[in-house]
Structure 1
Amino acid sequence: MRPDLERPARRRVHRTDWMALLSGMLFVSAGIVFVSDPSVEPLIMLAILVGGLGMAGLVAILAKVIRR
């Protein structure tokens, strides 16, 4: 019998990439707002996106610090 078949299978654990997850959710929600209510000012949406990306970065940094 082959030696690699005798060992139990190991599960790979992937950590959550909080920056990518939160940034994706932010851009999807911004797209939904633009489609549903086009009267929103682009400058206000830009400020919300930049602020949201900053918050996502902060969460990603905090998650990395807590993991260690």
Structure 2
Amino acid sequence: MRPDPQETAPAKKQRRYWHRTDWLSLFSGLLFIGIGVRYLVEPPPNTGVMVLTLVFGLGFAGFFAVVSRAFRKR
């Protein structure tokens, strides 16, 4: 009778794959969720203010993503 292959094979260590955080996607998603909640909770705000909030928020997310990538490569 043959032994089970599981008994004779060396135990492999289970690798865990940790991926790097995509800061641009994370902050952009949080920004859009925040704007969506803002529209649901209160009356619609001034459109110009919301567009500026969106543009500056995406700019901040992009800036943070570039800075974090520069520090990651060091």
Bin the TM-score by the shorter chain. 0.7 to 0.9
Q: Which runs of 5+ in 1 are unaligned?
A: none
Query: Following superposition, which runs of at least 4 residues in structure 1 exceed 3 angstroms of deviation?
Result: none
Which has a greater percent of helix? 1
Q: CA RMSD in A?
A: 1.9
TM-score calculated relative to the size of structure 1: 0.86
Residue 3 of structure 2 is aligned to residue 6 of structure 1 = no
Residues 34-49 of structure 1: pairs in structure 2 closer than 5 A? 34-49=39-54
Q: Count residues in correspondence.
A: 68
TM-score calculated relative to the size of structure 2: 0.80
Q: What is the aligned-residue identity percentage?
A: 36
Q: Which has the larger radius of gyration?
A: 2
